[in-house]
């Protein structure tokens, strides 16, 4: 694919689907954690509304937007530095965005403050963001014709 924004969009959507699916599986398995779509919905709605149909929809849109912006940031990094160590770059970019979101912006804006006392939510977020970074970087490396070698 020659268009970097198009490639980032496709990679970001695929990565976000995987991220949300893995979170869903963990929740179904009984892991006590807050879903990323609940956290994203809390940006727009009160906590009592995040599990409503509109809350779930807004949450999925929110996680997709964050996934797309992370993929675009990874495209920028890869355009500047090339395809070498693409997976490492994907992991670093995804976790940097995750740490900035969860460690800075969420507390600053009082978004889902309860997750600060949920170590499993934070641990699995780190693991899932790492997987997201791997998936997105592999897609961009393989199909991003705009990235120098």
Q: How many CB atoms lie within 10 A of CB 99?
A: 13
- Domains: count for the chain: 1
Separation of alpha carbons 140 and 118, rounded Å: 33
Quick check: is 148 in a domain?
Answer: no
Structure confidence by residue, pLDDT tens digits, 116-136: 899 999 999 999 999 999 999
- Tally of CA atoms within 13 A in the half-sphere of 16 that contains its CB: 22
- What domain range is 127 assigned to? 4-143
75 in any annotated domain: yes
Q: Is 126 contained in some domain?
A: yes
Average pLDDT along the chain: 93
Give yes or no for residue 15 having a pLDDT over 90.
Answer: yes
Look at the pTM and tell me if it is higher than 0.95. Answer: no
Query: pLDDT tier at 149 (50, 70, 90 boundaries)?
Result: low
* Model confidence pLDDT, tens digit, residues 20-78: 999 999 999 999 999 999 999 999 999 999 999 999 999 999 999 999 999 999 999 99
Specify if 149 maps to a domain: no
């Amino acid at each position: 694919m020659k268009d970097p924004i198009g490639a980032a969009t496709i990679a970001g959507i695929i990565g976000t689907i995987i991220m949300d699916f893995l979170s869903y599986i963990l929740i179904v398995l009984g892991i006590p954690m807050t879903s990323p779509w609940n956290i994203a919905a809390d940006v727009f709605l009160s906590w009592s509304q995040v599990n409503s149909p509109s809350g779930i929809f807004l949450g999925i849109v929110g996680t997709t937007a964050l996934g797309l912006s992370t993929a675009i940031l990874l495209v920028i990094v890869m355009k500047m530095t090339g395809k070498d160590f693409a997976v490492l770059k994907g992991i670093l970019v995804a976790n940097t965005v995750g740490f900035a979101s969860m460690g800075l912006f969420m507390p600053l804006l009082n978004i889902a403050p309860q997750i600060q006392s949920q170590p499993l939510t934070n641990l699995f977020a780190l693991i899932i963001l790492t997987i997201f970074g791997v998936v997105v970087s592999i897609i961009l490396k393989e199909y991003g014709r705009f990235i120098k070698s």
